[in-house]
Amino acid sequence: MKKAFVAAFAAIGATLGLTLAAGAAAQEAIRIGAPLPITGPLAPEAAKQKRGYDLWAELVNKAGGVKVGDKRHKVEIVYMDYQSNTPRAVQGAEKLITQDKVQFLFAPFGSGATKAASSVAERYRIPMIAVTASSEQVYDQGYKYLFGTFTPNQTLTEPISDIVKKRVSGAIRVAILARNDLFPLAIAQELEKSAKKRGIDVVYFEKYAIGTLDHASALSQIKAAAPNWIFATGYTNDLVLMRKQMADLQVEAPVVTMIAAPAYQEFIDASGKLAENISSASWWHPAVRYQGKTIFGSTENFVKLFEAKYKSTPDYVEASAAVSGALFQLAIERAGALDPVKVRDALAQTDLTTFWGPVRFGPNGQITSLEPPVFQIQGGKPIVVHPAPIAQGELKLGVK
């Protein structure tokens, strides 16, 4: 009886020891929260961010982890599905901090959800990197713990307006159709400013509701306005549907610009021949060439690593997600600690070149150092037309 008791006690002790060891090991991991719209209409965009995060985490962990002082820590990304619902993104960010005990945060997808969730990160003083937020309204809140890898929206609308002004002869008439959501609407409003500044006549400007499944009425009005430039904003599902309905209604123009879906291979695949000659702009393209100082090294090396893992070429969302992980890594290593205030200060002092491009954050936390490329789908592939150092061709005009 006594021997059985001793054996049982020893077994309990061994189990407890293993549990404590496992707990200690878990505490060693750097936990980064990632609220994403894994389900719902924004699911394609969530998948892109996840691919970028996972590539970075896998690479770092294979290398032994992030160096903090004289120790190395593996990274663990804690995902949370907010189902493409912004209020749930805010709740999810809070849960990740208070219950899942993450030390840092990646922002949700898009400017609207990022702006809403950034208040949570600020309240708990948790550094958060916004991977897909460009609207200045996200960064005008006076927050100290929010950083973003996208330049302001006008850095996309200004060059594309210049290009259209030079390529289209005579008077230019633009029709604008925007998803009524923070980023899609904000960039449409910036395009309106950029157009008017150049004497381009804005003949139509309307918003469509999130979840709209029929654009026929708006497209018919655009057709009646007879623009020679159509500018539409939205996400993948929105703009694939819109482009198909444009074809059905024979809505055409010499220049058709859509932001942001044409940067994604999914848009090209889903639209087929209808994607041809659609122009767009984004914050990164595989054609850029930077000798980066992060774990990814050069642009070419990042693309090679991504293609080896996912059998596809990365787009700007996937690249932004990956570089955001690398920026957290560098900030933690420079801080020499996991203290969120020290890591926040290290992020604020970032000034280096990455495969994404040169990274410096302005006083409001938004990146100030990139020149985003403008491109057009030609021959089924995105061809960069701006800036000149990486241009692969020039903007082609369509029919009408």
pLDDT for 262-300, tens place per residue? 988 899 999 999 999 999 999 999 988 899 989 999 999
Cβ-proximal residues to 177 (8 Å cutoff; 6+ apart), any chain: 188, 204, 206, 207, 208, 215, 218, 219, 222, 230, 231, 232, 233, 242
pLDDT at 11 over 60: no
Position of tokens 């990365």? 314
For residue 169 the two structure tokens come to 């002869």
Q: Which amino acid is at 169?
A: S
pLDDT for 186-226, tens place per residue? 999 999 999 999 999 999 999 999 999 999 999 999 999 99
pLDDT for 161-195, tens place per residue? 999 999 999 999 999 999 999 899 999 999 999 99
CA dihedral 148, 151, 154, 160 (to 10 degrees): -130
pLDDT at 28: 82
pLDDT for 108-140, tens place per residue? 999 999 999 999 999 999 999 999 999 889 999
pLDDT for 51-71, tens place per residue? 999 999 999 999 999 999 999
| Coil vs helix vs strand at 78 | strand
> What H or E segment, with its residue span, contains residue 158?
helix 154-167
pLDDT for 244-255, tens place per residue? 999 999 999 999
pLDDT for 302-333, tens place per residue? 999 999 999 999 999 999 999 999 999 999 99
DSSP calls for 369-389: -----EEEEETTEEEEEESGG
pLDDT at 287: 86
Q: What is the distance between the alpha carbons of residues 170 and 378, in angstroms, rounded to a whole number?
A: 24
pLDDT at 78 over 70: yes
Give, as one character, the DSSP assignment of residue 256.
E
pLDDT at 20 over 50: no
Give the predicted TM-score (pTM) of the model.
Answer: 0.82
pLDDT at 13 over 50: no
DSSP-based helix, strand, coil % in the chain, nearest 5: 50, 20, 30
pLDDT at 8: 41
pLDDT at 14 over 80: no
pLDDT at 368 over 80: yes
Q: Where are the domains of the chain?
A: 29-151+287-360, 154-282+374-390
pLDDT at 9: 35
| Coil vs helix vs strand at 128 | strand
- As a whole number, the mean pLDDT across the chain is 92
User: At the topology level of CATH, where does 29-151+287-360 sit?
Assistant: Rossmann fold (3.40.50)
pLDDT at 228: 97
Which pairs from 327-333 meet CB under 8 Å and 24+ separation? 327/129, 327/147, 327/149, 327/294, 327/354, 327/359, 328/32, 328/104, 328/127, 328/129, 329/56, 329/60, 329/66, 329/75, 329/294, 329/295, 330/294, 331/127, 332/30, 332/66, 332/68, 333/66, 333/67, 333/68
pLDDT at 400: 52
Q: Do 29-151+287-360 and 154-282+374-390 fold alike per CATH?
A: yes
Closest CA to 251 of 261, 259, 240, 243: 243
- Are 187 and 233 in contact by the 8 Å Cβ rule? The answer is yes
Over residues 149-171, mean pLDDT: 96
User: At the topology level of CATH, where does 154-282+374-390 sit?
Assistant: Rossmann fold (3.40.50)
pLDDT for 227-242, tens place per residue? 999 999 999 999 999 9
Position of tokens 């189990």? 15
For residue 204 the two structure tokens come to 């139509």
Which of 5-14, 151-160, 348-357 is the least confident region? 5-14
